[in-house]
Amino acid sequence: MVEIDRPRSAERIERDIETLAGARFTARADAICRYAYIDVYSNTLRYLTDELERLGFRVGYDPVGTLVARNRPSGEPAFGVGSHCDSNRSGGKYDGTMGVVAALEVCRLNHELGLGLSIQLISFFEEEGSGFGQMLLGSRIMAQRVSEEDLHERIRAIDDGRTFWEHAEDAGFEPSRWRESRQILDGLVGWIEMHIEQGRVLQDTGCRIGVVTAIAGYVHADLTVTGRADHAGATPMDFRMDPGVVAGEAIVELERLARVAGGGTVGTVGEIRFTPGIINVVPGEARFSVDVRGVDQDAFGGVAGEIRRFTEESARRRGMQASFAERQVLPATTMDQALVAAVEAAAGRTAEPYRIMHSGAAHVTMCVAPSVPSAMVFVPCKDGISHSPLEAASPADAALATEIILNAIQSWLSASRA
């Protein structure tokens, strides 16, 4: 078993995180804001490149901008570590970035301790969707879960409406070769992503480490109810076709359906818009988002189908119409049992409290796991706060996670050579 100098690793992890929270690496002074192809994101990748090249890694990019660094020639067997370093537009300094920085620390420790482990670090771009409104875009491109038409036409920048394809070319990448992104995984014999939990289970149970067995899948969709805009004062209640009422009923019903489904299924309406959106006008249209997640595919998929049927029926009953449009669907993802066991064994040897758990949030590992044996390690985040400048996590916990990951990799590679 490898025992590291945890305080020293914690200090380096904290230094990296604080550096990447500086003005050169975020587009906002009051939050972390960085996403694909903007200057502060490019600066972040350059920082990582410099640190990795000091360790003898060769650093490059896939055809659309995901960073890939290896201490072995391309194609040779290696173990993958990493996460993402983009953020949402009002984010914190730990989400994703701590996972990449912990992976960087794994690479440093491997170098300093002379372990000789073959490692590939990956920092996937556009996990949060802040640039193009598409979660997990870099890893989905790698997994071939998009089409060329999506990249050429459908996926457009939030800032200016131009296509992904145009922005990628302007940034010096080659989106015409996007299918070659799958080669990121060539030669990988395993993959571990470290991430803050983004919930409060670890904190509330007094655990420093979460060993993840599955990642929840999700359905993201929009429901639009079309009624009739009328004067809010002059139109009697019995004469109204108010889509806002249907939206309200559906929001309450979604909560009920998720609770009944159980098994960790959750349902959320995070966006709602009334048109024309004026205080003294009965809306003519109501659009609301639906986010349904869970590790039981039938359960969360069933909730998405039921809320669609409920909304359509509620609208018909009131003389209106409702339509349902999927934005994105990802299946639940099970981690590799043998690799999870290696991570759990490494966690157990530290004598620190840990917990077996699933992830309710989506992660890049969802797109890696179908092709490479994969696992995830969580560390607590204060009060479960994430996607916020108030986000906080402990570099000491991240240092503990790097020791666990390092030992899991070492045992995994030893077993694969045996």
Q: What is the pLDDT of residues 31-52, one digit of tens each?
A: 999 999 999 999 999 999 999 9
Q: What rounded mean pLDDT belongs to the chain?
A: 96
The span from the CA of 149 to the CA of 123, in Å, is 25
pLDDT at 418: 62
pLDDT digits (tens, 9 = 90+) for 201-256: 999 999 999 999 999 999 999 999 999 999 999 999 999 999 999 999 999 999 99
Phi-psi region of 244 (alpha: psi -120 to 50; beta: other; left: phi over 0): alpha
What pLDDT does residue 164 have?
98
Q: Using pLDDT thresholds of 50, 70 and 90, give the confidence band for residue 263.
A: confident
pLDDT at 277: 97
The whole-number average pLDDT for the span 109-135 is 96
Calpha distance 148→337 (Å, rounded): 34
Domain ranges of the chain: 6-215+332-417, 217-330
- Under DSSP, the state recorded for 256 is H
C-alpha separations of 6 from 70, 379, 401, 402 in Å: 24, 15, 10, 9
Q: What is the largest CA-CA distance in the chain?
A: 81
How do beta strands 67-70 and 119-124 pair? antiparallel
Which DSSP string corresponds to 188-250?
EEEEEEEEE-SSSHHHHHT-SEEEEEEE-EEEEEEEEEE---EETTTS-GGG---HHHHHHHH
403 CA to centre of own chain: 23
- Whole-prediction pTM value? 0.89
Packing angle of the helix pair 395-417, 6-19 (nearest 10 deg): 110
pLDDT of residue 389: 97
Q: What pLDDT was estimated at residue 82? A: 98
pLDDT, one tens digit per residue, over 166-185 is 999 999 999 999 999 999 99
pLDDT tens column, 118-127: 999 999 999 9
Tokens representing 402 are 């790097």
Phi, psi values for residue 33, rounded to 5°: -140, 105
pLDDT of res. 1? 86
Q: Is 82 helix (H, G, I), strand (E, B) or coil?
A: strand
Amino acid at 14: E
Mean pLDDT of 121-139: 95
Amino acid at site 140: R
Q: What is the CATH number of domain 6-215+332-417?
A: 3.40.630.10
The pLDDT score that the predictor gives to residue 39 is 98
Total residue count of the chain as it appears in this document: 418
According to the model, what pLDDT value does residue 328 have? 85
The mean pLDDT value for 116-142 works out to: 96
Confidence of residue 338 (pLDDT cuts 50, 70, 90): very high
pLDDT in tens, 55-92: 999 999 999 999 999 999 988 999 999 999 999 999 99
Q: Which CATH architecture has domain 217-330?
A: 2-Layer Sandwich (3.30)
284-337 per-position pLDDT tens digit: 999 999 999 999 999 999 999 999 999 999 999 999 999 999 998 888 999 999
